[in-house]
């Protein structure tokens, strides 16, 4: 079973990324052929600051390693180090129906949030399809926000196979129901580009400030509250154990849930869960040459796989004359 997923170095990685994708990927390390990559070409659709993109890429790599990804047990690389993906993207874009891409809501959401409506942003799903199909992935663990893009990848794989003969594995999404959409501190989907995140590696006062800023309603402490419509409750659910969550649930429905105290409890849980990883991240970042060496080795392994698929594609479509 080949499992693949990527993450954009478009800002500090956050707990939505962790629960939506990183945790699942790391837990699949022993049992699958695992492909994990930092998709810097995708991040170019929203980041046009060279320094920010370059340091973001190294930081994202350090994040994964600090959280426990073992580069010897997977293929771990930076997308742009295997530019073959761009050639496959072009081939796929020539069979991508405009209507299929025009229906993608991620593009519309990002434009509504002020990201420039470039051709790159519009064709983001085609590059993502190329990522997945190039490595012949069976499963792609993602958050719910990427479900539609996965559909595009499947449609393009099926279309290509029908048109040119069996070439690509048709990938399946893997979306965990409980962590499908982690809310941000404002209640919308937590997203790097929305500025509403709780970054995994934030600490101290800055982290406290972010947690205390989680938006809640103005219901007085003693009044009953609706847990299903509460951001803070949804975030607590990701960290607190079952027994504690039952107590919190009863405080919500019967009255007595004090948002301020619950936020402090969430802060403790965050520190407990990510404290050690934060220290490890600092160690990785103190040696960028070692990080680059790990990524270069990963890129070699990825390119070997990519070349096999790309040779086949070139032959299928008539680029090998
Ligand atoms: P951007 O705002 O730049 O798009 P992002 O925060 O949405 O950044 P991505 O790099 O686009 O992060 O996504 C990486 C992975 O994390 C994807 O699998 C995506 O589905 C998942 N993911 C992102 N945000 C969430 C979220 N709030 N809840 C669950 N999964 C998420
Ligand atoms: Mg995103």
pLDDT one-digit tens code per residue, 203-260 = 999 999 999 999 999 999 999 999 999 999 999 999 999 999 999 999 999 999 999 9
- The CATH code belonging to domain 201-282 is 1.10.240.10
Chain CA centroid to CA 93, Å: 23
Which residues belong to CATH 1.10.240.10 in the chain? 201-282
Mutation probe of ligand 1 site: the residue of 4, 21, 234 with most atoms within 8 A of C-beta:
21
Per the structure block, which two tokens stand in for 161? 């196979």
pLDDT in tens, 27-61: 999 999 999 999 999 999 999 999 999 999 999 99
95 has a pLDDT exceeding 90: yes
Which residues belong to CATH 3.40.50.620 in the chain? 2-181+287-317
User: For the residues 302-315, what does the mean pLDDT come to?
Assistant: 98
Tokens 């990524």 sit at which residue?
A: 295
What kind of architecture, by CATH, is found in domain 2-181+287-317?
Answer: 3-Layer(aba) Sandwich (3.40)
Q: Considering only CA atoms, which of 198, 189, 276 is closest in space to residue 14? A: 198
CA end-to-end span of the chain: 33
Q: Which of 108, 159, 189, 208 is catalytic?
A: 189
Mutation probe of ligand 1 site: the residue of 13, 16, 45 with most atoms within 8 A of C-beta:
16
Q: Which of 2, 73, 147, 192 is catalytic?
A: 192
pLDDT at residue number 180: 87
Distance CA 83, CA 103 (A): 27
143 Cα: distance to centroid of ligand 1 (angstroms): 7
Q: Is 9 annotated as a binding residue?
A: yes
pLDDT at residue number 123: 98
201 has a pLDDT exceeding 90: yes
Helix axes 288-317, 124-134, angle to 10 degrees: 90
Q: Which of 2, 110, 225, 305 is catalytic?
A: 110
Concerning whether 192 is annotated as a catalytic residue, the answer is yes
Please identify, by atom number, the ligand 1 atom nearest to the C-alpha of residue 5. Answer: 18
Is ipTM strictly over 0.95? yes
- Per the document, the length of the chain is 321
Instruction: Give the list of residues 6+ apart from residue 198 with CB closer than 8 angstroms, or none.
Output: 14, 15, 184, 185, 190, 207, 210, 211, 235, 270
Distance CA 107, CA 201 (A): 28
Distance CA 314, CA 147 (A): 28
63 Cα: distance to centroid of ligand 2 (angstroms): 17
Residues with CB under 6 A from ligand 1: 5, 7-8, 10, 16-17, 19-21, 46, 142-143, 145-146, 179, 181-182, 189-193
177 has a pLDDT exceeding 90: no
Q: Is 263 annotated as a binding residue?
A: no
pLDDT at residue number 178: 83
Label residue 64 by pLDDT band (50, 70, 90): very high
Per the structure block, which two tokens stand in for 109? 């959401």
Distance CA 75, CA 29 (A): 10
Label residue 69 by pLDDT band (50, 70, 90): very high
Task: Enter the DSSP assignment of 34.
Answer: E
143 Cα: distance to centroid of ligand 2 (angstroms): 9
């Amino acid at each position: 079973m080949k499992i693949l997923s990527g993450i954009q170095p478009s800002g500090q990685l956050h707990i939505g990324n962790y629960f939506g994708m990183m945790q699942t990927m790391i837990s699949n390390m022993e049992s699958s052929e695992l492909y994990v990559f930092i998709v810097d070409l995708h991040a170019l659709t929203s980041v046009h600051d060279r320094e920010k993109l370059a340091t973001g890429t190294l930081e994202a790599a350090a994040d994964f390693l600090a959280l426990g990804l073992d580069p010897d047990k997977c293929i771990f690389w930076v997308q742009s180090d295997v530019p073959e993906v761009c050639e496959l993207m072009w081939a796929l874009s020539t069979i991508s129906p405009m209507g299929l891409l025009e229906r993608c809501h991620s593009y519309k959401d990002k434009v509504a949030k002020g990201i420039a409506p470039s051709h790159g942003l519009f064709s983001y799903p085609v590059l993502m399809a190329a990522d997945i199909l190039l490595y012949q992935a069976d499963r792609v663990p993602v958050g719910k926000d990427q479900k539609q893009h996965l559909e595009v990848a499947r449609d393009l794989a099926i279309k290509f196979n029908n048109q040119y003969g069996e070439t690509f594995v048709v990938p399946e999404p893997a979306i965990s129901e409980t962590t499908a959409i982690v809310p941000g501190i404002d209640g919308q989907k937590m997203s790097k580009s929305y500025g509403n995140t709780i970054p995994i590696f934030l600490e101290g006062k800055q982290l406290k400030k972010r947690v205390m800023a989680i938006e809640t309603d103005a219901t007085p402490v003693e009044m009953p509250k609706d847990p299903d419509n509460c951001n803070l409750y949804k975030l607590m659910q990701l960290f607190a154990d079952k027994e504690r969550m039952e107590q919190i649930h009863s405080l919500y429905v019967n009255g007595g849930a004090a948002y301020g105290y619950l936020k402090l409890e969430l802060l403790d849980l965050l520190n407990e869960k990510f404290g050690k990883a934060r220290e490890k991240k600092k160690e990785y970042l103190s040696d960028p040459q070692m990080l680059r060496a790990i990524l270069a080795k990963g890129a070699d392994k990825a390119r070997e796989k990519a070349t096999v698929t790309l040779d086949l594609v070139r032959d299928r479509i008539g680029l090998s004359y």
